Every structure is written in structure tokens, then in C-alpha cells.
């Protein structure tokens, strides 16, 4: 017979049900049953998501039904009314197109399936079903209890009663199918009783939850009403009571805040007073008032203005760093003479590990100011500085106001760490937000977006730290006084290790001074062979590793006291990590010692040049930046213009290829200060004259051979000393920078100021270049730019 697959619906015998049909195959099956006046087999799908079901998607038991009525709805949907006749078992689908046709067999036959039953067990099951269904109809708002109860109470057939209840109770599809699958009437009724009992319990639980929610809401409304009554009664009696609003007003009046702040906060308290209990706006206002009352509007810490006391603290905490200490003591001296001096903005710039952050902490201790540290590394959002409006969810003040709040005073020392690591994106530029903060002329009325009140930052001493000033925006850098902290010399590192680092590590590792004897030679060897840095951070780590080795030896009872010298240092720290170049480097053709500045201090940068037959190409390798490549092109052009005077063939640029290479090719290199190095290497390679191995140089070169000044001379000179260099050639304009170089470095090195490449060549090459004869067959003199005199002419070879 024609078959209809039902989705989420089950039809029981002797029940009249109407439902909508939309699938084309289902509509054709119904039309076929109506036109041929035959019954139709209704069976449920196992998975309602299947659009075209086959035999595996259908349950085994369904209902043979008669189509009573068809109503066509707009679109392709029809509403059909069917009446179930009897259960049937599905054997097979004999047709799937254009509609389903199934081979079915009646399932209810024989005495076991007869309707009436007179047994006591059946009677008890029927009574239980009446009671449960009555309770279900009371709890379920959708059921018409009176009509339904009258319908089933008129019947004594347990199978019919079970089918009727199953048809009219909301249950899961599998539960309904299990009732249809049960062919024995009494067992079917018992099963529906169990399912109905479960549904009644669920409905009772839902009603309990709903009743509790309603009671809570009623209680909240009652509380709000009573509070409003109490407030009105207190107003009529002229009594405010010691409530939250009164406490806020008392705090505001006792705080002795500026007039503008007091008026604003009192207005917010009045606004809070008018809010209904439990409103979202009231929690926002409470948070705002709490933050504003925690700010130190007038509270200051008593500053220590004694220069001598501050000097002792700074000297005890740090070795060296004379320039920074001098600047801080100058600030204190002026503070003694002019107490109203506004807060200054200092920017400590230097490589990692030289003590920028720690000296800011020492300055706070020396001045007896509270310290608040703000890390700006990686900050991208302007709201991190200025805060969010208080109306936003989760709004909070910016980092500046938060730091003031944590410090608890109006005049703390604010340490803005890593100011060169600020970023910007679509949420704003935090560096631009700092322009007002770090301007002593404007920050007396700094307004945070959350507080919305002017807060005076002019008494705050701002100290910022950075590794380089190149990434700090110019307007921001213009507001700060830059103090450079350069690299430590090996002697300074020795003193820092002895006076600060070693005692600190011994205490941290639980060792006594008598248990570790560390000689000066061992510390020097540790500095030279195990670290390569500007600061002392790695040195401190290596001392920590040494202490751990000693602690292990003492605990394992290998020795009671460790005596560490330069000779046995490898026993504690393993093989040396760095092998400095030995004194007396060999003189080689085309190999020049250049000097470079890096973020971790100065380094020796070798330049190699080689000349091979070719067509005049210049090859540059070593991961060079654009500026360095341009320096090489400028050097090549200068050599071409001076080829005859330098003793180089005039047409070398047509017949020779020059390859300039900087070793450690994986390390990026850039900057103009390698100009003289590249020029010297090219001249040496073209003339065949070796370059002195104990000479290093730095300086920018122009097309006309002028030597221009460079930066980082202190770090570069220390790198030259570390690598066994005796002579350093520097630009003449950098001569004043020699005053900043440590005396031990100045005494160990010979500095030669130059302002022209000819002077560089005269001091760097083993011998002067041979001048080429001119076109007339004479000799061209080599002129020294230093004296203006001519060298002796060289006869033609």
C-alpha cells in the first residue's frame, strides 16, 4: 500500500490526527490513497533530517490509516486528516519513486491483542493511568483536561487508553515509538504509566523553579518599595541616617579636595541617590566614586633634599654611572634653592643590562619618593594611557592614574619603562597620549577619560628608559632630557661584580663569603670569555651558575671551600664561550678592521675586499642594509676619481670586479660609519698593499673623500680594546667625544682624528700608494691633506 514517512510524529490506531505534508513523494502517496480509496501506511523516520528515506531510515512498526480530509494550503503544502486503523509491521519497500509503496503485515491479531481485559492487574493499571493523566492535565497548560478525561474514562480497553494518552502527551519520539511497538495492551498501559509519571515529575520541577523565581522578584520589588518608603520618611523627619550616601558625602567633605573635584563628586553622589536599588548605573557610579576618593589629590610624601644623603644612597647602590648621579644631584641642589621646582622628565637611554631601571629605583629611594613602575613595552591602545569612559562595561582608569593611585602620593617617581617599544594601531597611538603627560607645562591639568577631572602631574618626577632614541617619536623625545648610559668597561664590570653582583648571588644561593674565594683574575676571565654584552645581566647569570656549581660541590661534600681562579674557571662553567682575538693581528691585503655599534655594545666588524678579472661589477654581500650599500657605492666612485693618485690603473672599473664582504653574513648590518672601512679595503685590494692588523677605523665617507662624524664612539673604542687593537682612526669632528671615554680605554689606545680618506690610507696601509704616471710620462705627486707637502716622486717602474 502507499506509505508516508513521518518526521517527529507518531500515529496510533483509533486516533484522529491532522498534520501538514510538504514533501512531493508524501503528497503523491496521499493523493494515490485518496484516488484509489485505499488505506495508507504511516511510519515514523528514525532521523528527521533525512529528506529521501529508505528502508533503513524507517521504524518497523507503523499504523495503517484512512485519509479523511485534505486541505491544500498556499504553496506546495497540504494539510491532511487521517484516522488510524491498526498496527502493521513493515516488511520491505517495494517502490520509492514517485512515492513510497511498502509491503506490510497486520501486527495486532489473536486473543492476546483483544481490547478488553478483566484482570485485576489491568484494572489497577487503568486507575493509575486516570490519576496520572489527570495530574498531567493540571500541570500542563495546553491540555483540555475535562474533555480528555471523559474520553478515556468511558473506555475499559487498556490498549486504547494507552494509545490515547500517548497521542495527547508531549514525549520524545523514541518514547512514543516504544508505545507503538508494544503490541500487548496491559504491558503497553504499564509502559505509558511509567513515561507519564516521569513527565509529571518534570512538570512539577518546572513549576517549582518558576514559583521560586517569581518569589525572588516579588521580594526584590518589596525591598525596593520599603527602601523608598524609609527614604521618604527620613526626608520628612529631616534625618538622613548613616547610610551609604551619607558615608560618601562625609568622605568627600573630609578629604579636602579641590573645589572643582568636590562639586563634581557631590553631584555624582546626588545622582547615585536617585538611582533605583540594584540598577546598573548605580554600580558604575559607586566604582567611579571609589576610584576618585582613592586618588591622592592633596597627599604628598616629604621629599629628602639632602644632596650628601642622596649621594651616599646612589653610590651604595651603583658603581660608576657618574653622569646620571650628577644629574640627579643637580636636581636636588636646585630643589634646595627653589622648592617650587616642577617635576622633571629624564630619559635614560642605553643598551640592555646597564642598570637603567635599577638606577630609577635608587633615585626614588634617594629622594624619599614613592615609586610606581609602568611597563610600556608592547602597549598599542591609547586607552591604556588615558583610560576608558566610565560608561563602558569594565571601564577603568589609564595606567598613569592607576600608578598614582598605587603610589598613594601626589609626587611619586613614575618609571615609564621601555618607552621606545610603544606601538600604534587602529585603537590610537599611545605615544601621542603621552605628549600631555610628559610636558611640565601641560600636565598640571591632565584629564583621564575615566576620572574626567583635572589631576595635577606637575609634582611627579618622570623617569623613562629606552634602548634607543631612534624609535621614540620626535615630539615625545623633545619633552625629555636624554641621559645616555653607555657600556661598562671591563674594569667597571669587575668592580660591579665584586661589590654588588657576587654578594647578591651568594646570599641568594645560601653561601657564605668564606665558602667561595673568587680572584680578580677569575672575574676578568669570566667577563672576557663567558660574556659579550654592554651591561652586566649575563655576567650576573654566570655568577649565579658559578654559585650553583659551588653549592652542589659543598652539599655533595667534595670540598668545604671553593677557590676559583682564572685557570680553573672552566671546571665550574665549562668551555669558554668567546675567544677574543690576540694582540698583534696579521697585516693582510683587503682585510680591514671596522668598528660598529650594536644594541649590546660595540663590536669589531671586519671588511674583506677582493679583486678579480671581470667587467667592472661591484658585489656587496653580508646582509647589508641600503645605507651601507650606498656607502660602498660612494667609496667606489671616490676611488675612480682618485685612481691615478692612488696608484691604481685608470681603467680598473672596466677590467676588474670588486667583491666586498662582511663576515657573519646572517647578521643584518647597516649604517654609514663603515664608509672609510670599505674605502680602505677596496684601495688595499686594488693596490695590493696590506692593511695594518692593529688598526681599526670608523667614519662616514663622501664622494670627495671627506670623513664625516659618527655615533657610538665610546662603545666602538671599547670593542677595539677588547679585540687587541692599538690604534683607532676616528673622524676629526668626533674629537670632543673622547672626553666621554673611560680613562683606561684612552690610555690603552692611540686615537688618530682624520678629516680626509687620504689621511686614513696613510695611517692604515703598510706603505703609501704608488702614484701612476700621467699621460705625458711624468710623475704625479701624492699630496698629504694634513701638511699640504708632496711626497717624493716615484720613478716609473
pLDDT digits (tens, 9 = 90+) for 652-682: 888 888 999 988 876 788 888 888 999 999 9
Mean pLDDT of 299-323: 82
In order, the DSSP letters of 134-170 are HHHHHH-TT--HHHHHHHHHT---HHHHHHHHHHHS-
Which of 35-49, 131-145, 175-189, 211-225 is predicted least confidently? Answer: 131-145
Given this model, what pLDDT does residue 650 score?
79
User: Are 582 and 543 a contacting pair, CB within 8 Å?
Assistant: no
616: left (phi over 0), alpha (psi -120 to 50) or beta: left
Q: Which residues contact residue 208 at a Cβ distance below 8 angstroms, ignoring those fewer than 6 apart?
A: none
CA 403 to chain centre: 21
Band of residue 301 on the pLDDT scale cut at 50, 70, 90: confident
Residue 428's nearest CA partner among 465, 389, 384, 479 is 384
Q: Which of 244-248, 323-327, 693-697 has the highest mean pLDDT?
A: 693-697
Cα separation, 80 vs 17, in Å, equals: 8
Band of residue 795 on the pLDDT scale cut at 50, 70, 90: very low
Mean pLDDT of 468-482: 85
Q: Which helix (H) or strand (E) holds 29?
A: helix 24-35
Given this model, what pLDDT does residue 120 score?
79
Instruction: Please say if the pLDDT value at position 788 is more than 50.
Output: no
Given this model, what pLDDT does residue 242 score?
46
Cα separation, 87 vs 106, in Å, equals: 6
Which has more pLDDT, 45 or 114? 45
Which has more pLDDT, 102 or 578? 102
User: Cβ–Cβ contacts within 10 Å for residue 428, how many?
Assistant: 16
Cα separation, 353 vs 539, in Å, equals: 10
Mean pLDDT of 462-473: 86
Sign of the Cα pseudo-torsion (199, 200, 201, 203, in order): positive
Band of residue 789 on the pLDDT scale cut at 50, 70, 90: very low
User: Cβ–Cβ contacts within 10 Å for residue 376, how many?
Assistant: 22
pLDDT digits (tens, 9 = 90+) for 380-424: 777 888 888 888 887 888 888 888 888 888 888 889 888 888 877
Q: Which of 48-57, 131-140, 538-547, 769-778 has the highest mean pLDDT?
A: 538-547
pLDDT digits (tens, 9 = 90+) for 10-61: 888 888 888 888 888 888 888 888 888 888 888 888 888 888 888 888 888 8
Per-residue H/E/C for 616-665: CCEEEECCECHHHHHHHHHHHHHHHHCCCCCCCCCCHHHHEEEEEECCCC
Given this model, what pLDDT does residue 786 score?
37
- With cell 664561550, the residue in question is 577
Residues labelled as active-site residues: 673, 716
pLDDT above 90 coverage of the chain, percent = 4
User: Are 772 and 644 a contacting pair, CB within 8 Å?
Assistant: yes
User: Cβ–Cβ contacts within 10 Å for residue 459, how many?
Assistant: 18
pLDDT digits (tens, 9 = 90+) for 232-250: 776 677 655 447 788 888 8
Helix, strand, coil % in the chain, rounded to nearest 5: 45, 20, 35
Instruction: Please say if the pLDDT value at position 74 is more than 80.
Output: yes
User: Are 708 and 733 a contacting pair, CB within 8 Å?
Assistant: yes
Given this model, what pLDDT does residue 330 score?
86
506-511-513-515 Cα dihedral, nearest 10 degrees: -130
User: Are 683 and 646 a contacting pair, CB within 8 Å?
Assistant: yes
List the alpha helices (DSSP H) in 155-302: 158-168, 173-181, 185-237, 244-254, 259-273, 280-294
Band of residue 773 on the pLDDT scale cut at 50, 70, 90: low
Mean pLDDT of 152-165: 77
Say what the pTM is.
Answer: 0.60
Sign of the Cα pseudo-torsion (785, 788, 792, 797, in order): positive
pLDDT digits (tens, 9 = 90+) for 208-226: 888 888 777 777 777 777 7
Question: For the chain, what's the residue count?
Answer: 797
Q: At what angle do helices 145-153 and 158-168 cross, to 10 degrees?
A: 160
Across the chain, mean pLDDT equals 81
Q: At what angle do helices 120-139 and 158-168 cross, to 10 degrees?
A: 20
Which has more pLDDT, 796 or 228? 228
Mean pLDDT of 56-70: 87
Given this model, what pLDDT does residue 656 score?
86
Instruction: Please say if the pLDDT value at position 771 is more than 70.
Output: no
Residue 643's nearest CA partner among 791, 771, 775, 784 is 771
User: Are 99 and 28 a contacting pair, CB within 8 Å?
Assistant: yes
Band of residue 584 on the pLDDT scale cut at 50, 70, 90: very low
b/e string for 638-675 if b means 16 or more Cβ within 10 A?
bbeebbeebbbeeeebeebebbbbbeeeeeebebbbbb
CA 529 to chain centre: 36
CA 728 to chain centre: 44
Given this model, what pLDDT does residue 368 score?
85
Residue 536 CB burial class (10 angstroms; 0-12, 13-18, ≥19) = buried
Band of residue 113 on the pLDDT scale cut at 50, 70, 90: low
CA 704 to chain centre: 49
Mean pLDDT of 346-365: 85
Given this model, what pLDDT does residue 729 score?
92
Secondary structure letter of residue 773 according to DSSP: P
Amino acid at each position: 500500500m502507499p506509505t508516508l514517512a513521518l518526521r517527529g510524529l507518531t500515529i496510533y490506531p483509533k486516533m484522529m490526527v491532522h498534520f501538514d505534508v510538504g514533501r512531493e513523494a508524501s503528497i503523491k502517496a496521499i493523493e494515490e490513497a485518496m484516488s484509489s480509496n485505499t488505506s495508507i501506511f504511516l511510519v515514523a523516520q528514525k532521523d528527521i533530517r533525512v529528506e529521501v528515506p529508505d528502508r533503513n531510515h524507517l521504524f518497523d512498526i507503523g499504523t495503517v490509516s484512512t485519509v479523511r480530509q485534505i486541505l491544500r494550503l498556499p504553496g506546495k503544502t497540504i494539510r491532511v486528516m487521517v484516522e488510524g486503523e491498526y498496527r502493521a509491521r513493515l516488511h520491505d519497500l517495494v517502490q520509492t519513486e514517485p512515492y513510497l509503496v511498502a509491503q506490510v503485515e497486520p501486527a495486532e491479531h489473536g486473543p492476546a491483542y483483544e481490547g478488553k481485559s478483566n484482570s485485576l492487574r489491568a484494572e489497577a493499571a487503568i486507575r493509575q493511568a486516570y490519576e496520572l493523566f489527570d495530574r498531567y492535565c493540571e500541570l500542563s497548560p495546553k491540555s483540555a483536561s475535562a474533555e480528555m478525561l471523559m474520553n478515556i474514562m468511558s473506555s475499559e480497553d487498556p490498549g486504547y487508553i494507552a494509545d490515547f494518552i500517548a497521542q495527547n502527551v508531549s514525549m520524545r519520539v523514541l518514547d512514543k515509538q516504544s508505545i507503538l511497538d508494544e503490541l500487548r495492551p496491559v504491558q503497553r498501559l504499564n509502559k505509558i504509566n511509567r513515561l507519564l509519571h516521569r513527565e509529571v515529575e518534570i512538570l512539577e520541577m518546572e513549576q517549582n523553579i518558576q514559583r521560586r523565581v517569581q518569589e525572588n522578584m516579588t521580594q526584590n520589588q518589596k525591598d525596593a518599595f520599603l527602601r523608598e518608603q524609609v527614604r521618604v520618611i527620613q526626608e520628612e523627619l529631616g534625618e538622613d541616617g548613616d547610610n551609604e550616601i551619607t558615608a560618601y558625602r562625609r568622605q568627600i567633605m573630609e578629604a579636602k579636595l579641590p573645589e572643582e573635584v568636590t562639586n563634581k563628586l557631590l553631584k555624582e553622589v546626588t545622582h547615585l541617590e536617585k538611582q533605583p536599588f540594584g540598577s546598573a548605573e548605580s554600580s558604575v557610579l559607586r566604582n567611579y566614586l571609589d576610584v576618585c576618593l582613592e586618588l591622592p589629590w592633596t597627599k604628598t610624601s616629604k621629599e629628602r633634599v639632602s644632596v650628601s644623603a642622596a649621594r651616599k644612597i646612589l653610590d651604595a647602590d651603583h658603581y660608576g654611572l657618574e653622569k646620571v648621579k650628577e644629574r640627579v644631584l643637580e636636581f636636588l641642589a636646585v630643589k634646595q634653592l627653589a622648592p617650587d621646582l616642577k617635576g622633571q622628565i629624564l630619559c635614560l637611554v642605553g643598551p640592555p643590562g646597564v642598570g637603567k631601571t635599577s638606577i630609577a629605583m635608587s633615585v626614588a629611594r634617594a629622594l624619599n619618593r614613592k615609586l610606581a613602575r609602568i611597563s610600556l613595552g608592547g602597549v598599542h591602545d591609547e586607552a591604556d594611557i588615558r583610560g576608558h569612559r566610565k560608561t563602558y562595561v569594565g571601564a577603568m582608569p589609564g595606567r598613569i592614574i592607576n600608578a598614582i593611585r598605587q603610589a598613594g602620593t601626589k609626587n611619586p617617581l613614575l618609571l615609564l619603562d621601555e618607552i621606545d617599544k610603544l606601538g600604534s594601531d587602529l585603537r590610537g597611538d599611545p605615544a601621542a597620549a603621552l605628549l600631555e603627560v610628559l610636558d611640565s607645562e601641560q600636565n598640571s591639568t591632565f584629564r583621564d577619560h575615566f576620572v574626567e577631572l583635572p589631576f595635577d602631574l606637575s609634582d611627579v618626577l618622570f623617569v623613562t628608559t629606552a634602548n634607543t632614541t631612534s624609535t621614540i617619536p620626535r615630539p615625545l623625545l623633545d619633552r625629555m632630557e636624554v641621559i645616555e648610559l653607555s657600556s661598562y668597561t671591563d674594569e667597571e664590570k669587575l668592580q660591579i661584580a665584586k661589590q654588588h653582583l657576587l654578594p647578591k648571588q651568594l646570599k641568594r644561593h645560601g653561601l657564605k663569603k668564606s665558602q667561595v674565594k673568587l680572584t680578580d683574575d677569575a672575574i676578568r676571565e669570566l667577563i672576557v670569555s663567558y660574556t659579550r654584552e654592554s651591561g652586566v645581566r649575563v655576567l650576573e647569570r654566570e655568577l649565579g651558575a658559578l654559585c650553583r656549581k659551588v653549592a652542589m660541590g659543598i652539599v655533595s661534600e667534595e670540598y668545604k671551600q671553593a677557590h676559583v681562579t682564572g685557570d680553573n674557571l672552566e671546571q665550574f662553567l665549562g668551555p669558554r664561550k668567546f675567544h677574543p682575538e690576540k694582540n698583534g693581528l696579521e697585516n693582510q691585503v683587503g682585510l680591514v678592521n671596522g668598528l660598529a655599534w650594536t644594541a649590546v655594545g660595540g663590536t669589531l666588524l671586519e671588511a674583506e675586499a677582493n679583486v678579480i678579472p671581470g667587467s667592472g661589477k661591484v658585489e656587496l654581500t653580508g646582509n647589508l642594509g641600503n645605507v651601507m650599500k650606498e656607502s660602498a657605492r660612494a667609496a667606489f666612485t671616490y676611488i675612480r676619481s682618485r685612481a691615478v693618485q692612488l696608484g691604481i690603473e685608470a681603467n680598473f672599473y672596466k677590467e676588474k670586479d670588486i667583491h666586498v664582504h662582511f663576515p657573519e653574513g646572517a647578521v643584518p648590518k647597516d649604517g654609514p660609519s663603515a664608509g672609510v672601512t670599505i674605502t680602505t679595503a677596496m684601495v688595499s685590494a686594488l693596490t695590493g698593499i696590506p692593511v695594518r692588523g692593529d688598526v681599526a677605523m670608523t667614519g662616514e665617507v663622501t664622494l670627495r673623500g671627506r670623513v664625516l662624524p659618527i655615533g657610538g664612539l665610546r662603545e666602538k673604542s671599547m670593542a677595539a680594546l677588547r679585540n687587541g687593537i692599538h690604534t683607532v682612526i676616528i673622524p676629526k669632528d668626533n674629537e670632543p667625544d673622547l672626553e666621554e671615554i673611560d680613562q683606561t680605554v684612552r690610555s690603552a689606545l692611540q686615537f688618530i682624528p682624520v678629516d680626509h680618506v687620504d689621511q686614513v690610507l696613510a695611517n692604515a696601509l703598510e706603505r703609501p700608494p704608488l702614484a701612476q704616471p700621467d699621460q705625458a710620462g711624468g710623475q704625479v705627486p701624492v699630496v698629504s691633506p694634513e701638511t699640504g707637502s708632496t711626497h717624493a716622486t716615484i720613478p716609473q717602474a
